[in-house]
């Protein structure tokens, strides 16, 4: 562990900065008259432009630096071994203290997915959804490739032991080994232990906030908000995240623009735009992104045999209805709606955009592609970028996000699904009139309808990706599949390159490059993935896309008509 010091002078951009110095005897006398005390006044240094009249009823322990403009009042337990930044405010706080080599939350091991800790994510400021996903989903990468250098990397990320410039810490209990960044506001927190709260945004545009009743231990809150009675243990809150209204979480990570209220999370890897707002909702042992959890959503990861070792993946855009239950392990296909109870460990990843119904025995009945005609799906695609709380903050964005609903990841799944459906339809249904596949049940009518819906959606995708209607030149190379890495859509070949790296910095560079060249990689994939059958139908792509748009518009019209009838029914 890199040794931390509390006596380093802060960087300054002004030429008239006057460094802190030891107090004169008459200054210590004034402070003592105002209710202040110190273990040793010789270890306490004040900037010459501190107004001593603003420092009252504070005890100082160990090495303490107080910068100009700071206001300190009523800290009976003392301020110990830290720097108080320029224009910072500390009022009515039980105690602020730092141990000499405290990491302030950096390097905490978060037991995501598998609660037993076999898939640990090492948290640090700047952690991206992509790197966290790699650590959790491919633990051997962290253990084998990164282990020689990871500690040095983490040590370099440890923030200073300070209450930063223009930070506010007011009406709080104990802060122990908690680094508070510039312009951070902490108001009414109950207890904060071993963590850091950081703003990366431009001055005046910070988001980091910790509010009343928050109790957090082993945490990083980065450009995020935790408020109103939240309880956190071993958690990372990323940029634009808001967690409040009594939500509790342990061993969980929350990335860009997640919103959580009232419920509970345990061992969750919550990718961008995951939302859970209701009481009695429990997300446990799963990876999500762009998810919306209905009230009383629940999962189970413990079969009472080998401990809570089960976990699952809800691919991007999954929604759950009220009371939905999934027995893990399970893998739910992208942009699917889950209703009822599912107890057979379903893997519906081959059928994105589906309705999943749990029958009376907990089996999963799938209606493939049914979500494609939902007007809400296209609405979601448009609203996500507009609700990005990270924007207009003039800061580096840690998480890379591809917002498109129709993308190489989901389109490739649909292309594969059409082949699977064709094979399934070549066989008769069982005696109960269902066709079975991987423990799921389908009706023949639903499968036939899904082929039409998937085909129309693929035409829609091609109409957007190929605005001139011309396919790229045929490419004889194997197209390869794509993966959704915590909100970023990448070719598996890129993932392979990342997993061959020996450092987080190199991995981030590869992912940045893939994000920047997404459109080119997509066109290259289209040239390889779409063969003669699709190319011979290039002329009907606009008509196919129009058919898709018509389906969505019909759903919108039906919904608005239904809503109008309900509204009329409810009028006085």
Q: Which residues are CB-contacts of 216 (< 8 A; sequence separation ≥ 6)?
A: 189, 191, 192, 193, 195, 210, 226, 230, 231, 232, 233, 235
Element (H, E) at 11: none
pLDDT(61) > 80: yes
Contact between 194 and 207 under an 8 Å Cβ cutoff? The reply is no
In 108-231, alpha helices (H) = 129-137, 139-140, 147-155
66 SS3 class:
strand
Separation between Cα atoms, residue 498 and residue 489, nearest integer Å: 14
Q: Please answer whether residues 352 and 334 qualify as being in contact, where contact means their C-beta atoms are separated by less than 8 angstroms.
A: yes
Intra-chain end-to-end CA distance of the chain, in Å: 69
Picking from 530, 520, 542, 551, the residue whose alpha carbon sits closest to that of residue 353 is: 551
What SS3 state is found at 128?
A: coil
- Taking CB atoms within 8 Å and a gap of at least 24, the contacts of 66-72 are 66/20, 67/10, 67/20, 67/165, 68/18
Confidence of residue 63 (pLDDT cuts 50, 70, 90): very high
Q: What is the pLDDT of residue 148?
A: 85
Longest dimension (CA), the chain: 96
Give pLDDT tens digits for 29-58: 999 999 999 999 999 999 999 999 999 999
Question: What is the Cα Rg of the chain in Å?
Answer: 27
Task: Bin 521: left if φ > 0, else alpha if -120 < ψ < 50, else beta.
Answer: alpha
pLDDT digits 0-9 by tens, 144-192? 899 888 999 999 999 999 999 999 999 999 999 999 999 999 999 999 9
> Is the separation of the CB atoms in 259 and 242 below 8 Å?
yes
Residue 303 has a pLDDT of: 67
Mean pLDDT of 351-369: 95
pLDDT at 555: 87
What's the pLDDT at 4?
A: 40
CB 379 within 8 A of CB 290: no
For 265-318, the pLDDT digits (tens) are 999 999 999 999 999 999 999 999 999 999 999 998 876 666 678 899 999 999
Which pLDDT does position 149 carry in this prediction? 87
Residues 481/484/489/490 CA torsion (nearest 10 deg) = -50
Q: What is the pLDDT of residue 5?
A: 39
Summarize the confidence of residues 421-445 as an average pLDDT: 92
Angle of helix 129-137 versus helix 504-516 axis, rounded to 10: 120
At residue 378 the predicted structure's pLDDT band, cuts being 50, 70 and 90, is confident
Q: What is residue 395's predicted lDDT score, i.e. its pLDDT?
A: 93
pLDDT number for residue 139 = 93
329 cis-preceded (ω within 30 degrees of 0): yes
pTM, whole model, 2 decimals? 0.94
pLDDT at 9: 43
* The dihedral sign for the CA sequence 349, 350, 353, 355: negative
Strands (E) across 273-318 are located at 275-276, 282-284, 286-288, 292-293, 298-300, 312-314
The pLDDT, as a whole number, for residue 379 is: 84
Q: Sign of the CA dihedral 546, 551, 555, 558?
A: positive
CB atoms within 10 A of CB 262: 16
CA quadruple 261, 263, 265, 268: dihedral positive or negative?
negative
Query: What pLDDT digit, counting tens, does each position of 199-225 carry?
Result: 999 999 999 999 999 999 999 999 999
Q: What is the pLDDT of residue 307?
A: 67
Rounded mean pLDDT of 484-512? 97
Contact between 64 and 6 under an 8 Å Cβ cutoff? The reply is: yes
Q: What is the pLDDT of residue 10?
A: 45
Instruction: Tell me what pLDDT residue 302 has.
Output: 73
Q: Once rounded to an integer, what is the mean pLDDT over residues 96-107?
A: 97
Tell me, rounded to whole angstroms, the distance of Cα 161 from its chain centroid: 26
């Amino acid at each position: 562990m890199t040794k931390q010091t509390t006596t380093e002078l802060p960087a300054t951009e002004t030429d008239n900065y006057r460094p802190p110095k030891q107090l004169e005897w008459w200054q210590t006398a004034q402070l003592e008259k105002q209710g202040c005390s110190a273990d040793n006044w010789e270890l306490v240094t004040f900037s010459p432009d501190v107004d001593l009249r603003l420092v009252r009823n504070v005890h100082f322990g160990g090495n303490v630096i107080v910068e100009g403009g700071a206001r300190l009042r009523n800290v009976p337990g003392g301020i110990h071994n830290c720097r108080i930044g320029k224009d910072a405010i500390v009022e009515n706080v039980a105690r602020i203290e730092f141990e000499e080599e405290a990491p302030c939350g950096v390097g905490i091991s978060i037991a995501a997915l598998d609660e037993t800790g076999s898939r640990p994510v090492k948290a640090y400021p700047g952690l991206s959804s992509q790197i966290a996903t790699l650590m959790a989903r491919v633990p051997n990468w962290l253990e084998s490739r990164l282990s020689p250098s990871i500690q040095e990397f983490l040590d370099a990320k440890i923030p200073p032991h300070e209450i930063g410039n223009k930070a506010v810490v007011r009406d709080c209990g104990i802060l122990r080994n908690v680094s508070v960044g510039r312009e951070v506001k902490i108001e009414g927190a109950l207890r904060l232990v071993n963590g850091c709260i950081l703003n990366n945004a431009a001055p005046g545009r910070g988001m980091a906030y910790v509010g009343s009743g928050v109790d957090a231990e082993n945490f990083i809150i980065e450009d995020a908000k935790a408020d109103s009675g939240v309880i956190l243990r071993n958690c990372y809150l990323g940029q634009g995240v808001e967690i409040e209204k009594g939500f509790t979480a342990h061993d969980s990570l929350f990335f860009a623009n997640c919103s959580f209220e009232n419920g509970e999370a345990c061992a969750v890897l919550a990718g961008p735009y995951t939302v859970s707002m209701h009481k009695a909702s429990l997300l446990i042992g799963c990876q999500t992104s762009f998810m919306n959890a209905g009230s009383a959503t629940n999962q189970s990861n413990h079969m009472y045999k080998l401990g809570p070792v089960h976990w699952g993946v809800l691919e991007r855009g999954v929604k759950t209805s009220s009371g939905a239950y999934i027995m893990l392990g399970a893998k739910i296909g992208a942009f699917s709606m889950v209703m009822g109870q599912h107890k057979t460990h379903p893997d519906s990843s081959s059928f994105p955009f589906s309705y999943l119904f749990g029958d009376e025995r907990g089996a999963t009945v799938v209606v493939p592609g049914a979500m494609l005609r939902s007007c809400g799906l296209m609405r979601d695609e448009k609203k996500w970028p507009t609700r990005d709380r990270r924007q207009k903050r003039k800061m580096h964005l840690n998480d890379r996000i591809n917002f498109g609903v129709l993308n190489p990841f989901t389109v490739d799944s649909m292309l594969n699904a059409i082949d699977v459906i064709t094979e399934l339809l070549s066989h008769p249904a069982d005696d109960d009139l269902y066709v079975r596949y991987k423990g799921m049940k389908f009706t023949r009518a639903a499968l036939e309808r899904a082929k039409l819906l998937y085909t129309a959606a693929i035409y829609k995708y091609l109409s957007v990706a190929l605005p001139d209607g011309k396919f790229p030149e045929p490419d004889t190379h194997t197209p390869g599949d794509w993966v959704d890495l915590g909100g970023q859509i990448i070719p598996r070949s890129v993932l392979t390159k990342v997993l061959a790296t020996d450092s987080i910095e190199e991995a981030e560079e590869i992912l940045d490059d893939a994000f920047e060249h997404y459109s080119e990689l997509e066109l290259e994939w289209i040239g390889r993935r779409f063969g003669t059958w699709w190319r011979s139908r290039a002329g009907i792509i606009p008509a196919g896309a129009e058919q898709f748009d018509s389906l969505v518009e019909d759903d919108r019209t039906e919904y608005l008509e239904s809503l109008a009838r309900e509204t009329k029914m409810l009028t006085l």
